[in-house]
Amino acid sequence: MSEEHLMDSEGYYSLKSAAQKMFDVVTQRLNVQTAYVTMRGKNAMTVLSSLNKKEEIVPEGFTIDYEESHCRLIINDQNHVLRTTNLMDDPLTNEMKASAQLEVKGYLGVTLKDLRGNVFGTLCVMDKEEKQFTDEDIEFLQTIAAVLSHMIDLDQTHYNMRLMNVPIIPITEGVSVVPIQGIVDEERADKLMRDVLLYGKEQDIDHFVLDLSGLVVRDQFFSEMLPKLIHALQVMGINTILTGITPEVAHKEIETNVLSPHKPKTVSNLKTALSTIGFQLVESR
pLDDT of residue 124: 98
Work out the pLDDT band at 162, boundaries 50, 70, 90.
low
- DSSP characters over 46-115: EEEEEEESSS-SS-TT-EEEGGGSHHHHHHHSTTSEEEES-TTT-TTTTT-HHHHHH---EEEEEEEE-T
225 contacts 195 by C-beta, under 8 angstroms: no
Is residue 254 classed exposed, middle or buried when 0-12, 13-18 and 19+ CB atoms within 10 A define those classes? exposed
Domain residue limits, the chain: 9-162, 165-276
H/E element, 124? strand 119-127
pLDDT for 73 beyond 90:
yes
pLDDT, tens digit (0-9, with 9 covering 90-100), for 85-135: 999 999 999 999 899 888 899 999 999 999 989 999 999 999 999 999 999
Specify the DSSP class assigned to residue 31: T
Tell me whether strands 106-113 and 81-84 are parallel, antiparallel or unpaired: antiparallel
Specify the DSSP class assigned to residue 217: P
> Which range (104-113, 143-152, 184-193, 211-220) has the least confidence?
211-220
pLDDT for 220 beyond 80:
no
pLDDT of residue 282: 46
The span from the CA of 259 to the CA of 224, in Å, is: 10
| CATH topology (fold) of 9-162 | Beta-Lactamase (3.30.450)
Residue 266: strand, helix, or coil? strand
CATH code of the domain occupying 165-276? 3.30.750.24
Work out the pLDDT band at 197, boundaries 50, 70, 90.
very high
Tell me whether strands 207-216 and 239-243 are parallel, antiparallel or unpaired: parallel
